[in-house]
Chain A
Amino acid sequence: MKANLIYTLIIASCILCSCSSRPSTERKGKNLIEVDPNRDDKVSVYDLFSRIEIIPLETKQNSLLTFLIGEPDRVIVHENNFYFLDDSQHLIIVFNSEGKFLKKISKKGNGPEEYISIDDFNINRFTGNLEVLSSVGRYINVYDISGNIFIERIKFPADMPIVQNFHHLTSDVYVFFTRSHKAEIFFYSKSGNKFFMSDYSLPEWFNRRTVFTAASKNPFYVYNDFLCFEQVYNGDVFTISPLDYILEPRYLWDFGRHNFSLSVLPENESMKTYLDLLKKISADYAILFQIYKENSKYYFTRFKFKNRYKHLVFNKNKNEYILFERFREGGQCVPQWIDEDAIYTFISPSFINQVIDPSILNGENKSKYLQIKDDDNPVVVKYKFK
């Protein structure tokens, strides 16, 4: 009898443990990095970068980009070209590394080779093709990199949730992020035309009525062939294993008593209530990690604390970080793309003074900066690493 009871307890414990394997709660181990959010290091632009380049994107009638809140909907730098998603115009606009307009990829329509909406896009690292996600149409359209040649439509199963973002885990398996109801991650096998859910799930009230999940344009990024996922509300980063589809902690930031979790918020309140609470929450907790960029040397992130934006640059080789609000020379550090050579910020002319002070630019770039007009196309600010 006693043995049966112990056996039952062990089984029950195992079941409970397996149920509590949500990645967001596993905040321990060597990937946990202690950060003091009150730190404000004195950081010069030239501590990290050797020069800054201003690249205005060519302003022509058919190259106009909409940056509704000063920033792009999504951008990918591929073979030195900038691919901008403009979801309000339902198209992708491509510029070269000097900002010259190259082409507009616009296929909106109801035809078999067109898309009904464009909500996300990627350049498939396995095939080199351009892939466009239509949430409304529930499919991915595949084109060659020029966008001219339609290759195929990947139609999702009818019972698959509506998805907003995607990336490629393997050549066959896609990873999707949905925030239509709960925020969830799931996987889709193209060859099997089947999907399966991960353990990752955030409740609908949190997902729909707060700014903590929708803030993310695309929560996935690829570094060194690892597919990573960033959790916008507290900045935790996970690597998604292509073998067992588990989210393994990559960088977990420990702000001590300033760590934000869902339990801080009352449940099932209105959007207005959560917006009203935002200032109070930001006063006490590190929130809204809207930047997550990584190369072989650094991991960059940017979050809000005490209602100010803080920039965290983690040096992977030295295992140490710097934290600052603004560079010593003025301006913020807002990398929206990174490679081994540089970070890139893409910004509307009306916001450019928030990221850069023209006094630190050299003659040629200062001249470009001063010629930018408010109704011009957005600008690329390229910070070349030392």
Chain B
Amino acid sequence: MKKKIFGCLTIFVIAAVVTFNVNLDVKKSETTSLLALANMEALADEEEFTITCDSGDSGQCFYVSVIEGLFGVCQFDCDFSGSQNDYCSQCWVDLINFCSAFSCASGG
């Protein structure tokens, strides 16, 4: 039963994240006022480019990670990667954590 719930949630979350990503440009203009954008500069091949990431706890340049706590509680989180290919929504991670308040080993 839990696996089914997880499966449904996973599909739901993937669909939501895809939707988020498709609409990222639109969302960006909205979230810019809420989230300070952290600009990071990097040098590669002697050319300078700018990576734009969301600051705070989630968004662009964050990826979904999972840990199993000391007492078996499974917790998903958004961790910073600095890579623009990554996107993690704290809202969805919170939702998954709320719905999956059981051990990682039982299917997460």
The residues of A with any CB-CB pair to B shorter than 8 Å are 68-71, 88, 110, 116-117, 119, 135-138, 158-159, 161-162, 164, 179-181, 208, 210-211, 214-215, 271-272, 275-276, 278-279, 282, 288, 290-291, 302, 307, 334, 351, 354
Contact = CB atoms under 8 A, between A and B. Distances in A.
6 contacts: A70-B73, A136-B80, A208-B63, A214-B66, A276-B3, A278-B108
Contact of A214 (B38, B56, B65): B65
Given A211-B74, A214-B66, 19 more contacts: A68-B75, A71-B70, A71-B71, A116-B55, A117-B56, A159-B42, A159-B43, A164-B79, A180-B79, A180-B81, A180-B82, A181-B81, A208-B65, A271-B108, A272-B6, A272-B10, A290-B68, A307-B105, A354-B71
Given A181-B83, A288-B68, A158 B107 contact: no
B80 A117 contact: yes
Nearest to A207: B65
A202 B95 CA distance: 30
Nearest to B90: A88
Contacts of A119: 80
B64 interface: yes
Q: Counting chain B CB atoms within 10 Å of each CB, which of A69, A162, A214, A291 scores highest? A: A69
A354 B73 CA distance: 13
Interface in B82-101: 82-83
Contact of B66 (A180, A275, A276, A302): A275
B4 to A, nearest CB: 13
B81 A162 contact: yes
B79 A214 contact: yes
Contacts of A334: 70
Contacts of B38: 116, 136-137
A112 to B, nearest CB: 15
A288 B82 CA distance: 27
Contact of B55 (A70, A117, A307): A117
A176 to B, nearest CB: 14
A179 B66 CA distance: 12
B69 A70 contact: yes
Given A211-B67, A271-B64, A158 B43 contact: yes
B40 A158 contact: yes
A208 B43 CA distance: 25
Contacts of A137: 38
Nearest to B101: A69
A354 to B, nearest CB: 6
A181 B86 CA distance: 11
A132 B53 CA distance: 21
Nearest to B40: A138
Contacts of B66: 210-211, 214, 271, 275
A136 B59 CA distance: 12
A275 B108 contact: yes
Contact of B105 (A70, A159, A278): A278
A258 B53 CA distance: 42
A282 B105 contact: yes
B47 interface: no
B41 interface: yes
A291 B69 CA distance: 11
A158 B41 contact: yes
B73 A69 contact: yes
Contacts of B107: 275-276
A89 to B, nearest CB: 11
A50 B38 CA distance: 52
B33 to A, nearest CB: 15
B104 A278 contact: yes
Contacts of A69: 67, 69-71, 73, 75
Contacts of A272: 6, 10, 108
